Amino acid sequence: MTGCDNVLTTKGGTLVKTAKHGKRIRLKERLLRTVSLLTAAFCLMTALSAVPQASSATSVSDLQKQLEQIQSSMAQHRQELADAKKRESAAAALEEELRQQVTVIQSQISVLKGEIAQVQNAIGQKEQEIIAKQAEIDQKEIDIDNQWADFKTFMGAMQELREGGSVAMLSAVTDLYQLLTFSEMMQDISVKETQMLDDLEAAKLDLENDYKQLETEKAALETQKANLDAKNYQMQAKQSELNASISQAQLTQDEAAAAQKEAQEAIESDEMDYEAVQQQIQSIISSAAASQSQLSFTGFICPLKTYSRISSEYGYRTNPVTGVYKLHGGIDFAAPGGTPIYAAAGGYVSVAGWSTGGYGNYVVIYHGTMSDGKAYSTLYGHMSRIAAKQGTYVSQGEVIGYVGSTGNSTGNHLHLEVWQGKTNAGRVNPRSYIPI
């Protein structure tokens, strides 16, 4: 760990480092510090008593209460902003998930439509086959009717032969062989006619069975199509449900975005109010401090007794949070969170609160005039907790807060600035003043 063992003082208007050993030097510094503290305390009491008390709204304590109320409002609005961002992010993630589900369902619906079309085509083919089979059956019925007509004609002729034509037939026969041959021929014709009728009836029966099979297959296809249609309907309903959920997710995102805008505007309004009250307090403190020409000091001490390293020097750099190349107006001391921060010199606490400019919890101390004839202030940023009270006097080495990582910060550290004057317009390199 690195410590601060030296004090920067002035000699003949020039800053010099003096070691903390030597009884006479320490005694002289202690006497000067004691006189300075007593004088400052007296001046503070006189200055604050000189501030008009007729209106409580202008008192530092009342203004500090206003700051606390504004900080509470800012905290609430920041929470609302964070919650709105979470809602928007969750709704966006849900929308993406729902859209993926819709894509899957659309693919399934497309497959179903293809299957339905195939089944519909198959049904159409079966209907054509059934029509063709019915035509075959109709033709068989015609063939049967024709064959039956021929058979009836044949049977009529046979009947005539039985009833009166036998004598004529016998007279035409010259021998027994002709008679037998004729008789067998007639018998064969009768058998063949009967067989032809039986074959036609059997063929018709086969066609009717085929027809029934086609009807059964068609019914099965229609059942399959009905099931596919039902499944398609369910998919379409699910898609409609998902689309409605997507619309709701989009609405939630729009509402969350509007809530973020509203919260951000409220935060900006709070920040403006905070700055306005800060300026009122600063005006009161500055007026009190300006009336005390005795406020002075001899030099600074290191605000940290121990620290890990200097993580960033004073000068131009690319901001690690914003990515903007700009002046880094101070020095960053890397140190564990909660490390005590000490006032580098005695003075009035002109600011103690939350920064709207990225410092997080920060403190500004006005030290008055150093022996070089110039007035100085110091700023301590990114505190985890503030110990100093705005509008009060702190002594050199008094704990004013603790190291943290609030505001625009990437890790626990103390951001220290040294100003010539009362504003950051007079920022100078702390290494020229702080013993590091």
d(CA 355, CA 362) in angstroms, rounded, equals 7
Query: What CA dihedral angle connects 363, 369, 373 and 374, to 10 degrees?
Result: 20
The domain that contains 19 carries what CATH number? 2.70.70.10
Could you tell me which residues come within 8 angstroms of residue 130 by beta carbon, excluding any fewer than 6 positions away? Answer: 211, 214, 215, 218
The domain that contains 182 carries what CATH number? 1.10.287.1490
Domain total for the chain? 2
Amino acid sitting at position 88: E
| Domain span including residue 92 | 88-257
* pLDDT for 290 beyond 90: no
Is the residue at 278 inside a domain? no
Look at residue 337 in the predicted model and tell me its pLDDT. Answer: 97
pLDDT (mean) for 150-162:
69
Amino acid sitting at position 65: K
Query: Would you place residue 280 in the very low, low, confident or very high pLDDT band (cuts 50, 70, 90)?
Result: confident
**Report for 22-26, 167-171, 205-209, 227-231: range of highest mean pLDDT:** 227-231
* pLDDT for 39 beyond 70: no
Look at residue 165 in the predicted model and tell me its pLDDT. Answer: 52
Is the residue at 59 inside a domain? no
**pTM of the complete model:** 0.51
Q: Round the average pLDDT of the chain to a whole number and report it.
A: 81
Within this chain, do residues 105 and 36 fall inside the same structural domain, yes or no? no
Within this chain, do residues 46 and 148 fall inside the same structural domain, yes or no? no
- Of 257, 284, 313, the residue that ends a domain is 257
Look at residue 50 in the predicted model and tell me its pLDDT. Answer: 36
Q: Between 311 and 22, whose confidence is greater?
A: 311
**Report for 36-40, 138-142, 328-332: range of highest mean pLDDT:** 328-332
Measured on CA atoms in the order 345, 346, 347, 353, is the torsion positive or negative?
positive
Is the residue at 318 inside a domain? yes
Count of residues in the chain: 436
d(CA 295, CA 41) in angstroms, rounded, equals 10
d(CA 302, CA 294) in angstroms, rounded, equals 24
DSSP SS3 for 350: strand
Within this chain, do residues 25 and 168 fall inside the same structural domain, yes or no? no
Contact between 102 and 243 under an 8 Å Cβ cutoff? The reply is: yes
For residue 2, what are the β-bridge partners?
Answer: 307
Q: How far is CA 281 from the centre of its chain?
A: 41
Contact between 115 and 228 under an 8 Å Cβ cutoff? The reply is: yes
**Nearest alpha carbon to residue 365 among 419, 314, 324:** 419
pLDDT (mean) for 379-393:
94
Contact between 357 and 329 under an 8 Å Cβ cutoff? The reply is: no
